[in-house]
Structure 1
Amino acid sequence: MRLIRLGVGLLLVLGLLAGCTSTPSVVTDYDPEFSFGELTRFRVELAEQEDGNSLLISPFTLSHLQRVIESHLASRYESAGEDGEADFVVRYHIVVEDRLDVRSYDQRYGFGYYGYGPWYRYPYSHGPSPRVYRQGTLIIDIARAEDNKPLWRGVAEQRLYDGLTPQEQRQRLSAAVTEVLSNFPPVR
């Protein structure tokens, strides 16, 4: 009996830990008329962060992000360098914004002083509980080099947590780049 309890407890802990590992949500969109098989050479342009919140992002993080994008694409395409002839141009942006999450919860079924349960007649509940959190968005745009016609866009969003070191932030950004660019070129 004790082994069963221990096994169930271990499964619950593993389930909670698996739920805590968060991957960014990724959405992509593309021009269905374009033949992506024609692309052979790329160029990554420097990010221009203009928004006030985005100015808080370190230039070292932006240069790291550019290197990750270049190395990921270089495994499938030829790099044209900064001024070389390219078939497509890659632009990236990072947006950090505050968002509001409003939730309400009911303590009637909680674990109060007497262990209130469904038999407790007085519904003791709190009203909405607003929480402000930071949301990070990575946007990668791919356009045709000759006329800047948009071809493909990938967006990754993830909730940001305070207390991350710059190295941990870069690891998360690298993972987000990998998630987004794994959908390029689109499969029809």
Structure 2
Amino acid sequence: MNAPRLQTRLFGASFLVACSLALAGCASTPDVQTDHDPSANFTSFHTYYWAKEPETANPLAKQRLIDGIDARMRAEGLSLAPEGSADLAIIANVATQQQQSLDTFYSGGGYYGWGWGGMGTATTTVRTYTVGTLVLDMFDAKTKKAVWRGVASGTVPDSKEKLATAVNAGLDKMFADFPPGSAGK
């Protein structure tokens, strides 16, 4: 086999591996970041209330999100209480945004030395997808100071089953080290 043909096959194989890795990254769990006030005493918080529930176009999705957060708060020993008697106030915001990516694939032609040789074609496709972001803030209900923030962002799946899985994965990551200082749960 001559060298240019071998280079073309090696380039094609490495291109397929790169594409597979990129697609695998799209299927991953949402990107999650958390932050907290290091001076906040999380052991003094036992109750919480919803100061603002997330607003979504789908009321069932909204309820699943609230139920998921409530379950994780209960798992940490926090219970839902009326506004005037709760230790923490929770505010949740949800935003979605349409994004596009351009994918260009090249075919034909050969790779000779440092440059492209021969005739080839390029096909570009536009992929439109929705990115969803959940911002969850917690405030000390007495002092009104922010004590914790979690942000989860990822591609919104098309099916309700995949969406539920992605939301739960995002919440699991968000609450993995909650309350702060509990990493060795």
Whether the TM-score (by the shorter chain) exceeds 0.5 is yes
Quote the offset at 1:176 in angstroms. Answer: 1.5
User: TM-score w.r.t. structure 1 length?
Assistant: 0.69
Higher strand share: 2
Q: Decide whether aligned partners of structure 1 residues 129 and 32 sit closer, same or farther in structure 2, where only a CA change above 3 A counts.
A: farther
For 1:172, give the aligned amino acid: A
Quote the offset at 1:74 in angstroms. Answer: 0.8
Say if 1:45 and 1:89, in contact at 8 Å, map to a contact too: yes
Say if 1:45 and 1:90, in contact at 8 Å, map to a contact too: yes
What residue is the counterpart of 1:169 in the other structure? 163
Q: Decide whether aligned partners of structure 1 residues 19 and 134 sit closer, same or farther in structure 2, where only a CA change above 3 A counts.
A: closer
Q: Decide whether aligned partners of structure 1 residues 77 and 101 sit closer, same or farther in structure 2, where only a CA change above 3 A counts.
A: same
Query: SS state of the match for residue 118, structure 1?
Result: strand
What residue is the counterpart of 2:85 in the other structure? 85
Matched, 1:154 2:150: yes
What residue is the counterpart of 2:13 in the other structure? none
Instruction: Please report the RMSD computed on the Cα atoms of aligned residues, expressed in angstroms.
Output: 3.1
Give the Cα–Cα distance (whole angstroms) in 2 for the partners of residues 123 and 143 of structure 1: 62
Stretches of 4+ aligned residues off by more than 6 angstroms:
none
Q: 1:32 aligns with which of 20, 34, 38?
A: 38
Say if 1:41 and 1:79, in contact at 8 Å, map to a contact too: yes
Quote the offset at 1:153 in angstroms. Answer: 0.8
Quote the offset at 1:142 in angstroms. Answer: 0.8
Count of paired positions: 160
Quote the offset at 1:46 in angstroms. Answer: 4.6
What residue is the counterpart of 1:118 in the other structure? 111
For 1:71, give the aligned amino acid: A
Quote the offset at 1:101 in angstroms. Answer: 2.9
Say if 1:44 and 1:70, in contact at 8 Å, map to a contact too: no
User: TM-score w.r.t. structure 2 length?
Assistant: 0.69
Matched, 1:179 2:173: yes
What residue is the counterpart of 2:66 in the other structure? 66
Give the Cα–Cα distance (whole angstroms) in 2 for the partners of residues 117 and 93 of structure 1: 51
The runs of 5 or more residues in structure 2 that have no matched partner are 1-16
What residue is the counterpart of 1:134 in the other structure? 130
Amino-acid identity (%): 26
For 1:90, give the aligned amino acid: I
Q: Decide whether aligned partners of structure 1 residues 126 and 177 sit closer, same or farther in structure 2, where only a CA change above 3 A counts.
A: same
